[in-house]
Amino acid sequence: MAKFKGFTDSETFTQVPNGFFRQLLKQIDDATELKVTLYFLWRVEHMDGPFRALSESDFSTTDLGLAEDEIRLGLEKAVERGSLLKVQKARVEPGRNDAMGYFLLNSPRGRAALQVLESGMWNPEIAGSAPLMERPNIFKLYEENIGPLTPLIADALKDAEETYSDEWIAETIELAVKNNKRSWKYCEAILKRWKEEGRHGQKDKQDNVKSSDRYTKSEFAEYLKRD
């Protein structure tokens, strides 16, 4: 067994739905299914835009330590369990008449995206899907712009990451530097004001209505319009 060298102090973190630990973890008894499910959660967490989906080819055999047929089997089990959704869309490449399979999280956003895809009003092969984007590492941002990272500050940053978007946190740190107010209390005060008052018409992610209706009426609305 290869020994793990340990995590670094510059790690980014991935949010995992509580339902994974409360329900799925005790249900999944296959290591391959567990691997592809966790890998999916990691990849889509680092994607931007409304369409957060992966094709089978997006699952890295190197990262997972699995063969392609094992990945395929793990994905089939995840879809059968209901943790992931799958939709087939025809390819638009010249000379090809096969279909591309996309996997989405079985969540309000995922179900809304599935509805759009199945309606035939949008094809990601034409419109393009969101690229993989690394989220800002707020620990690194803080140390580079504000000051040394203490255990107390680290806990405060973790709490902030659960409450506010990474973009908001990064922007408040930028404002702190610009205004020569290099302290977390200054950043936190701005975040709290934005949460209460809104910013540019946006709401904090904790205030969003968590339902399919929210997505079909906003991010995917243009694809669901009827004549």
Local confidence band at 143 (pLDDT 50, 70, 90 cut-offs): confident
Is the C-alpha dihedral spanning 132, 12, 218, 193 positive or negative? negative
Between the alpha carbon of residue 68 and those of residues 54, 63, 65, 211, the distances in Å are 15, 12, 10, 34
Q: What pLDDT is recorded for position 77?
A: 97
Q: Which fold has domain 18-127?
A: Arc Repressor Mutant, subunit A (1.10.10)
Round to whole Å and give the CA distance between 11 and 18.
21
CB 44: neighbour CB atoms within 10 A?
22
- How confident is the model over 174-201, as pLDDT tens digits? 999 999 999 999 999 999 999 888 765 4
Local confidence band at 133 (pLDDT 50, 70, 90 cut-offs): very low
Mean confidence (pLDDT) of the chain? 79
- How confident is the model over 96-111, as pLDDT tens digits? 555 678 899 998 878 8
On the question of a common fold for 18-127 and 138-205, the answer reads: yes
pTM: 0.57
In this structure, whether the domain defined by 138-205 belongs to CATH 1.10.10.630 is answered with yes
3-class DSSP assignment, residue 89:
strand
Closest CA to 92 of 84, 101, 100: 100
Round to whole Å and give the CA distance between 33 and 70.
9
Sketch the domain layout of the chain as residue ranges: 18-127, 138-205
